[in-house]
Structure 1
Amino acid sequence: MRRPKYFTPKEVSVHNTLKDIWASYLGKVYDLTPLLEENKGDVLLKPIAECAGKDISHWFDPKTKDILTHVDPLTGCIKYYTPRGRFLHIPPPCPRTDWANDFGKPWWKDNRYEVGLLSAKTRWIRIINTLTSQEQRLEVCSEETLEEILQRYLCYNSHAASYTWKHNGVNLDMSKTLSENSIPEEDEFYCGSPECDLFSPSICLYFNDDLTEL
């Protein structure tokens, strides 16, 4: 099976328009753009659109993976809890003949929109090209392997696969994560400070003399 792609919260947050809308919930990332296109003009899309690029895990019961419910104080019936307002595929509070319930799976249970996993924790690293002395600071997912981090870095160096990756002079196992390669996390005391770059762990790239065509 293909390994799922991990995303940082920042990567999700940039997809925040009606023509490009992502959301994360319960540890997964979803591209809801097709959902909005299929239901264009429906007023019930408003609560979803208002949360574009955000995590909406608080909408859900982590045990049932369904929308939170509550007991309606007037009717005593169990209903979905939607404090931001009723949204698409949530039934109306009272029986209605004009509500179409033949949509199949509700959108939050439809894995067609799933694009990957949300990182539980991100890390900052510095990648230093020893051939050119160029340095790039990257926010990566702690769950990513070095090979996956390399894919992130390709936009800065298209020949990154032609380098040996090292930390403190030790060759890194590209199939393992940063922590599995014993690369320490950045000092939290300096996170967000002007000195933060200095305390992010560094990975040095050494050219192998055999450029890989990508």
Structure 2
Amino acid sequence: MRPTKYFTATEVSLHNTLGDLWVSYLGKVYDLTPLVNEFKGDVLLKPIIECAGKDISHWFDPKTKDILTHIDPLSGCVKYYTPRGRFVHVPPPCPRTDWTNDFGRPWWRDTQYEVGLLSVKTRWIRIINTLTSQEQGLEVCSEETLNEILQRYLRYNSHAASYTWKHDCVNLDMSKTLEENGIPDEDEDFYNTRMDRDLFSQSICLYFNDDLTEL
């Protein structure tokens, strides 16, 4: 089973407003819009809003999955390290009567905001409709199966499921990834040979099945 959805960094970056705010960190993607709505108008949202649509993994210790810490030079105590300023659920540096810690889990440990995984490596492919000669470039996640790539392609062709997908005249297994279908990622080869990878991308040809399936 593949219950988790993968996202590209570009997709995450599009969610960069107060009404639609995503971030990624430590390989996962989070929708913090509910958090923003809950603390609307709170100055402690500022560092989060400034990083809307971005990766904030540098805020965290990858081993503990918690916010980075440091020794406070004034108190000599271990404190959260927040160079952009203190944010929601981070305690104040000194005891205060207007701050409580009865909120449960801090937002960075709360799985309710998680929407999927950030792709470790994305790649560009060309999808060629042999019926219409339409060609579409598509950035996809290397972890995605062809069926998941098909879902991305539906915005360009709502009948995409009515086609047989082939590469080098070989039918593709829609339940497998590009790599598993023998379509290698050649970015490293292009880098080593100093060639522009934008000049070439692997192509997939679609052959119409004459059934007009619509998803």
The verdict on a shared fold, with TM-score over 0.5 as the criterion, is yes
Does the CA contact (< 8 Å) of 1:185 and 1:200 recur in 2? no
Please state whether the residue corresponding to 1:180 is helix, strand or coil: helix
Match of 1:43 in 2: 43
1:150 equivalent in alignment to 2:150: yes
Whole-angstrom CA distance in 2 between matches of 1:11 and 1:213: 25
How far 1:209 sits from its partner (Å)?
1.3
- Please name the residue that 2:170 is paired with: 170
Gaps spanning 5+ residues in structure 1: where?
A: none
Measured after TM superposition, the shift of residue 212 of structure 1 is 1.0
> Is 1:24–2:24 an aligned residue pair?
yes
Q: CA deviation at 1:185?
A: 2.1
Structure 1 residues 70-89: aligned runs within 5 Å:
70-89=70-89
Residue by residue, what CA displacement relative to the aligned partner does 1:92-129 show, whole Å, maximum 9, x if unpaired? 00011110211111010111111110000100000000
* Structure 2 unaligned residues grouped into runs of 5+: none
How big is each residue's C-alpha offset from its partner over 1:126-161, in whole Å with a ceiling of 9 and x where there is no partner? Answer: 000000100000000000000000000001111111
Tell me what 1:96 maps to: 96
In 1, Cα distance between equivalents of 2:96 and 2:170: 67
Q: For residues 115 and 213 of structure 1, what CA distance do their matches in structure 2 show? A: 26
Report whether the alignment pairs 1:106 with 2:106.
yes
Secondary structure in structure 2 of the residue aligned to 1:203: strand
CA contact (8 A) 2:161 2:214 kept: no
3-state DSSP class of the match of 2:180?
Answer: coil
Aligned-residue offset at 1:2: 5.5
Q: d(CA) in 2 for partners of 1:185 and 1:27? A: 20
Deviating beyond 6 angstroms after TM superposition, the runs of 4 or more aligned structure 1 residues are none
C-alpha displacement at 1:184, in angstroms? 2.4
Cα deviation digits, residues 187-206 of structure 1 (max 9, x gap)? 44213xxxx2x410000000
Query: Is the contact made by 1:128 and 1:135 (CA closer than 8 Å) also made in structure 2?
Result: yes
User: In structure 1, what is the Cα distance between the partners aligned to 2:67 and 2:144?
Assistant: 30
Distance (whole Å) between structure 2 residues aligned to residue 185 and residue 59 of structure 1 = 31
Could you tell me which amino acid in structure 2 is paired with residue 92 of structure 1? P
1:24-63 residue CA offsets vs partner (Å, 9 max, x unmatched) = 0000000101100011111000000000000000000000
Looking at structure 1, the residues matched to 20 and 108 of structure 2 have their Cα atoms a distance apart, in angstroms, of 17
- The separation in 1 between residues aligned to 2:46 and 2:213, in whole angstroms, is 48
Three-state SS of the structure 1 residue aligned to 2:139 is: strand
Matched position secondary structure for 1:128: strand
Report the 3-state secondary structure (helix = DSSP H, G, I; strand = E; otherwise coil) of the residue aligned with 2:49: helix
- In structure 1, the partner of 2:59 is 59
CA contact (8 A) 1:128 1:136 kept: yes
Secondary structure in 2 matching 1:176:
coil
Amino acid at match of 1:53: G
Question: In structure 1, how many angstroms separate the alpha carbons of the residues matched to 2:106 and 2:176?
Answer: 37
Q: % of aligned pairs identical?
A: 82
Q: Give, as a single letter, the amino acid of the residue that structure 2 aligns with 1:85.
A: G
Q: Within 1, Cα distance between the matches of 2:179 and 2:214?
A: 29
Structure 1 CA distance, aligned partners of 2:169 and 2:184? 15
Q: Distance in 1 between matches of 2:146 and 2:133?
A: 20
**What's the secondary structure of 1:44's corresponding residue?**
helix
Contact 1:143 1:177 in 2 (8 A): yes
